[in-house]
Structure 1
Amino acid sequence: MDRKEVRVYGDQVLALTTLRMKINKGKKGPERITDNTLIRTAIDLLLQHQDELGGVTENEIRASCGLDPRY
């Protein structure tokens, strides 16, 4: 795997940590779910729908995914 630094919003960090903890609490088996596991999965989901994306700003791309604007 290659290293890629990503800047995220504070609320995303909190939500990602909460989700990771929830998944790890309810799972069985030895594999540890990390923030990076969830981020890689989210990237794959985004790439799977890349033909549906549009826009030239973050908010335009978010809108093409059905997400609300950030700020």
Structure 2
Amino acid sequence: MTTNDDDGQPRYATFPRSEARLRPDQMAKLDEVRRQVSRARSDKRERITNNTLLRLAVDLLLANSAHIKGDTEEEMRRSLLGGGRHLSGMNFQTL
């Protein structure tokens, strides 16, 4: 487990706590992706959790926030993911 250089506590413990409500399909896919990523890694010193992946997703969202358009969650999702557009060099498919 990776620790914070300053006080030796786990890195995740240095982050403020937050809560997100996810759909069941999102939770299932997140678990699946976490397992795939964990299996594929060669350096396993740092533990990869669903929260790790959620932080990456937030980073990706923030890096592409200028593309968010719409009044509803569905419209905003389409503005980010729809039409086969590439965000930050990655190809996303509509959920």
TM-score range, shorter chain: 0.7 to 0.9
RMSD (Å) for aligned C-alpha atoms: 1.3
Corresponding pairs, count: 69
Where structure 2 has 5 or more consecutive residues not aligned to the other structure, the ranges are 1-14, 83-93
Q: Aligned residue for 2:9?
A: none
**Greater fraction helix:** 1
Counterpart residue number, 1:47 = 62
User: Which protein has the bigger strand share?
Assistant: 2
Q: How many percent identity over aligned positions?
A: 38
Normalised by the size of structure 2, how large is the TM-score? 0.67
Cα distance in 2 between the residues matched to 1:28 and 1:21:
14
List runs of 5+ in structure 1 lacking aligned partners: none
1:3 maps to: 17
Q: Secondary structure of the equivalent of 1:14? A: helix
How far is 1:26 from its partner?
1.4
1:61 matches 2:66? no
Distance 2:77 2:35 in 1: 26
Question: Displaced runs of 4+ in structure 1, greater than 6 A?
Answer: none
